[in-house]
Structure 1
Amino acid sequence: MDTDVQKLRDMSGLVTPMALRVAVTLGLPDRLSDRPATAAELAPELEVDPLALDLLLAHLTTLGVIERTDAGHRTTDFGALLGADAGNGLNNLLHHDSAAGRADLAFIDLVHSVRTGNPAYPLRFGQGFWEDLAGQPHLRAAFDRQMNDRMSRWIPQVVAAFDWARSGTLVDVGGGHGSLLAAILHAHPGMRGHLVDLEETAAGARELLRSQGLAERTEVTGGSFFDPLPRGDACLLFDILHDWDDENAHRILARCAEASDRVLVVESLGGSSEFDLVMLVHFGGRDRGLHDFERLASRHGLTLVSTTQVTDGRTLLEFTR
């Protein structure tokens, strides 16, 4: 029983997760990677309290993220995984002033989401996640990096798993910087693409598609997927609908159904319980099952005609009128 109690204490503790996030926010993994320093030396540089910093460094040492040397604290190989240039996306996920790291702070109000079914993000920050991104360009940039990091791991599987060439013109709705669309077009030279995303992100997509020699085969529209969409042979919604409640999911699907007779929805069909809570707290969204998507789509005259697993955790649902 004591073992079980300790296990629950370990599972519910906030100290270690917050210590790691604060370390990233202060830039400690990078600062201490090649220049060891003591808390007294670091405190004025970071504009923090030296005693409090020493306590933080002590816990990070216990975790194996940093180590003590004669010259002061130094980042370990393990701790280097938290660095800004580590290439794994962790720094961007944990930093308090990134989109994901900031949003996770709303978990302190999870009880609000459970009681109301609404996201906790607006309660903590005064407005919704997407409104926050629109008003703070650095958050939008951090979110785009997060999506690019995630997509880069999946692109080869997604391109190979589905017959994209059946769509002469593919409208990538909420397509980010266009890395997936670019890969699909490179694999199928006869296709054209049209990407739609908010203007700040669309600007990055134009640059990426131009740099990959796809400017002549693509168009990029800066705008919202709640507004009328450009016409195409198929509309692609990759990891879009789980960010939204049913009301807004219907609005997005309605725009896609107006623009095309084929709608391709890529989602996780019943993801992890942890991910569902993230969607709830951040956006008021959730993962859905196959029948949930069929129900949503049917209101817009769309019928499921095929399912294709495109990554280990993602399935492409093909709907047609």
Structure 2
Amino acid sequence: MREQEAGAMADGDGEKALLSRMWDFHSGLRMGFMLSAIADIGIADQLVEGPLSVDELAERTGSNADGLYRVLRAMASKGVFTETSHRVFGLTPLAEIMRSDTANSLRDVFRLQGKHFMRNAYAEIGYSIRTGRPAFDHVNGEELFAYLARHPEMNELFSGAMGNAAGQTQQAAVEAYDLTGVRKLVDVGGAHGHLLASILARYPDMEGVVFDQPHVVPGAERVLDEAGVLDRAELVGGSYLESVPSGGDAYMISHVLHQLSDSEAITVLANVRRAMNPTGRVLVIDPVIPEGDAPHQGKFMDITMMALSRGRDRTEAEFIEVFEKADLRLVDTIGLASPSSVVIAVPA
């Protein structure tokens, strides 16, 4: 009898743990919105010199003190900020990532996801599940990059968020791959040049090209100049679905292919294949999704792609397939367990 009671209690405890976990998932929606709002307001930047009272924070940021307190209290319970004394808050290691001025900042990433044109797309993910089409186009009436081209302020924020990402997962992926000997690196879809700037700084004998849409690439000049590498870089505007600059020893395609359908990805890779030197190589930086139930950030990035574009994150087998159709051959994949891997291909 006691064994049965113990088993029932154990089963009850297990059910409570499962329910608690599901409630945590439910709370995650609110946590995401709070992170976006606090990032947009810039609270973490106000706390660089030390803890401040909610009243002081509210005055500095034009916020309501009571509303701000309640949100910071909730976030502090998850380790983002800490209430050092009653109604006084300071930074934590997690909150530091919300600052604008740190190397590992994700502030613009959180700001971006809170904007109506982005969050409405995520909220309509059911549309993508039912139709297989991007929820972004459904709620905004046009595809993502057309929208950004018409809204310069949001395009600037989007590029900043991509720069945050370049400083995190993409940069870590590149650091795992030795680019010694590459004389000319073409960054296809390089946006504002954050990733290329960091690479040129590491390889002083290398020259680089930032290639992206004409309304995007001018923003790379400041980034490359601040990194001290502008004299070794060229900015070229165009569409990678039509052509890419020729003569590169290596072509880096970072977090671009996963925004594209398979047919579009093959078109870009084929354009690179035609433009590259005979001994050149293609470096694709994207999540590589593992098979089965293995946890991986790429599985959630893939949902972002489903909501925002006609793209997808791919398994290694799927990369092999699109490479082959572009007359390329996959030769190595570095960092399979990482959020983003380097997938290397050469002419077939």
Asked if TM exceeds 0.5, the reply is yes
Q: CA deviation at 1:231?
A: 0.7
Change in Cα spacing, 1:19 to 1:268, as seen in structure 2 (3 Å) is closer
Matched to 2:22, the amino acid is L
- Note if 1:246 corresponds to 2:258: no
Q: CA deviation at 1:37?
A: 4.0
- Note if 1:265 corresponds to 2:281: no
Matches of 1:61 and 1:157 in 2, distance apart?
31
1:256 is aligned to 272
Question: Is the contact made by 1:309 and 1:316 (CA closer than 8 Å) also made in structure 2?
Answer: yes
Question: Is the contact made by 1:162 and 1:310 (CA closer than 8 Å) also made in structure 2?
Answer: no
Q: CA deviation at 1:282?
A: 2.2
2:332 is aligned to 307
**Selected match of 1:8 from 4, 22, 31:** 22
Matches of 2:73 and 2:202 in 1, distance apart?
51
Question: Is the contact made by 1:92 and 1:101 (CA closer than 8 Å) also made in structure 2?
Answer: no
Change in Cα spacing, 1:51 to 1:198, as seen in structure 2 (3 Å) is same
- Note if 1:101 corresponds to 2:118: no
Secondary structure of 2:265's partner? Answer: helix
**Residue by residue, what CA displacement relative to the aligned partner does 1:107-137 show, whole Å, maximum 9, x if unpaired?**
2111111111222122233322222222222
Change in Cα spacing, 1:294 to 1:81, as seen in structure 2 (3 Å) is same
- Note if 1:292 corresponds to 2:318: yes
Matched to 2:17, the amino acid is T
Change in Cα spacing, 1:23 to 1:218, as seen in structure 2 (3 Å) is closer
Q: CA deviation at 1:204?
A: 3.0
1:135 is aligned to 150
Matches of 2:150 and 2:143 in 1, distance apart?
11
Matches of 2:200 and 2:72 in 1, distance apart?
49
- Note if 1:36 corresponds to 2:53: yes
Matched to 1:268, the amino acid is P
Question: Is the contact made by 1:61 and 1:68 (CA closer than 8 Å) also made in structure 2?
Answer: no
**Residue by residue, what CA displacement relative to the aligned partner does 1:217-238 show, whole Å, maximum 9, x if unpaired?**
4321022222322112332212
Matches of 2:343 and 2:272 in 1, distance apart?
16
Change in Cα spacing, 1:291 to 1:195, as seen in structure 2 (3 Å) is same
Higher mean alpha-carbon deviation, 131-140 vs 51-60, is at 51-60
Structure 1: give runs of 5+ residues left out of the alignment. Answer: none
Matches within 5 A, 1:200-219: 200-212=215-227, 214-219=229-234
- Note if 1:151 corresponds to 2:166: yes
Matches of 1:217 and 1:319 in 2, distance apart?
25
Q: CA deviation at 1:288?
A: 0.7
2:88 is aligned to 74
Question: Is the contact made by 1:202 and 1:220 (CA closer than 8 Å) also made in structure 2?
Answer: yes
> Structure 2 length normalisation: TM-score?
0.74
Secondary structure of 2:147's partner? Answer: helix
Change in Cα spacing, 1:240 to 1:2, as seen in structure 2 (3 Å) is same
Q: CA deviation at 1:173?
A: 0.7
Instruction: Tell me the C-alpha RMSD between the 2 structures.
Output: 3.5
1:320 is aligned to 347
Matches of 1:178 and 1:239 in 2, distance apart?
13
Matched to 1:255, the amino acid is N
2:252 is aligned to 236
Matches of 2:78 and 2:201 in 1, distance apart?
45
Matches of 2:137 and 2:174 in 1, distance apart?
34
- Note if 1:21 corresponds to 2:36: yes
Q: CA deviation at 1:277?
A: 1.2
**Residue by residue, what CA displacement relative to the aligned partner does 1:252-311 show, whole Å, maximum 9, x if unpaired?**
22322232254332322215322221221122322112221221122222223x214168
Identity of aligned residues (%): 25
Question: Is the contact made by 1:173 and 1:196 (CA closer than 8 Å) also made in structure 2?
Answer: yes
Matches of 2:335 and 2:233 in 1, distance apart?
23
Question: Is the contact made by 1:164 and 1:184 (CA closer than 8 Å) also made in structure 2?
Answer: no
2:107 is aligned to 91
Residues paired across the two proteins, number: 312
2:10 is aligned to none
Secondary structure of 1:161's partner? Answer: coil
Higher mean alpha-carbon deviation, 225-234 vs 208-217, is at 208-217
2:7 is aligned to none
Q: CA deviation at 1:68?
A: 8.7
Question: Is the contact made by 2:54 and 2:69 (CA closer than 8 Å) also made in structure 1?
Answer: no
Q: CA deviation at 1:30?
A: 4.9
- Note if 1:177 corresponds to 2:192: yes
Change in Cα spacing, 1:37 to 1:224, as seen in structure 2 (3 Å) is same
- Note if 1:192 corresponds to 2:219: no
Question: Is the contact made by 2:266 and 2:322 (CA closer than 8 Å) also made in structure 1?
Answer: yes
Matches of 2:26 and 2:151 in 1, distance apart?
32
Question: Is the contact made by 1:194 and 1:218 (CA closer than 8 Å) also made in structure 2?
Answer: yes
Change in Cα spacing, 1:35 to 1:108, as seen in structure 2 (3 Å) is same
- Note if 1:282 corresponds to 2:308: yes
Matches of 2:301 and 2:172 in 1, distance apart?
24
